[in-house]
Amino acid sequence: MSTDSTPSAPAAAPDNAAAPAAAPAAAPSRPRREFNRGPRRDDRNKPTAPMGPDGVTAMVEKVVFINRCAKVVKGGRRFSFAALAVVGDQKGRIGVGYGKANEVPDAIKKSTAHAHKHMVSVKLKGDTIPHDVLGVCDGGRVLLKPASPGTGLIAGGAVRAVLEAAGVKNVLTKSMGSSNHIAVVNATVNALQQLRLSADIASMRKLS
């Protein structure tokens, strides 16, 4: 009986053994850290005045203070709210309003409407004031001094709200009297209304 002596073919090597080892994947790069810095004190990156949808300068409305009053009645307490608001076009026109209501949104709406009805114009010299001035109203006394560009609005609380609405960007201030919000706001407005430009003084002297 004859047998086939032909050698059998070698078994094929598995594909995974023949393929070279894959290079390790590159590590993902770390995202760059971004620091969220706060706004500059002089707000130089902001537009000078916000524009409305129709291209007209929009009014800036700021709520200075909200006071809560409680009335004790037979069933408990009843709360009412009073809001002090300032509006302005950041071009020399400002208004102060005061409103009361049983809810905070209604009080703010009344105060801003009252401020829009009592707008006054003030004289500014660029983005600062033309000269030193002291405003007085009730117990509030506010001193305003002009400052060079880049100084910023050095003011706090109620004074800052009024000056931002008026469009002042470089000024030094000091509140030297009462800390009552209404008195400080009205004293600041009184100081701004006393401002005069050199051209106004010259014209008055020529007429006299």
Nearest Cα residue to 130 out of 147, 143, 108: 147
* pLDDT of res. 157: 85
pLDDT band at 35 (very low <50, low <70, confident <90, very high): low
* pLDDT of res. 27: 61
Q: Are the C-beta atoms of 198 and 173 separated by less than 8 Å?
A: no
pLDDT band at 34 (very low <50, low <70, confident <90, very high): low
Task: Dump pLDDT digits (tens) for 104-137.
Answer: 999 999 999 999 999 999 998 888 999 999 999 8
How high is the mean pLDDT of the chain? 81
Task: Dump pLDDT digits (tens) for 142-193.
Answer: 999 999 988 899 988 899 999 999 999 999 999 998 989 999 999 999 999 9
Place of tokens 């000024």: 171
Q: Are the C-beta atoms of 171 and 142 separated by less than 8 Å?
A: no
* pLDDT of res. 7: 55
How far is the C-alpha of 114 from the C-alpha of 126, rounded, in Å? Answer: 28
Task: Dump pLDDT digits (tens) for 36-67.
Answer: 665 555 444 454 445 555 555 678 899 999 99
Higher pLDDT, 85 or 33: 85
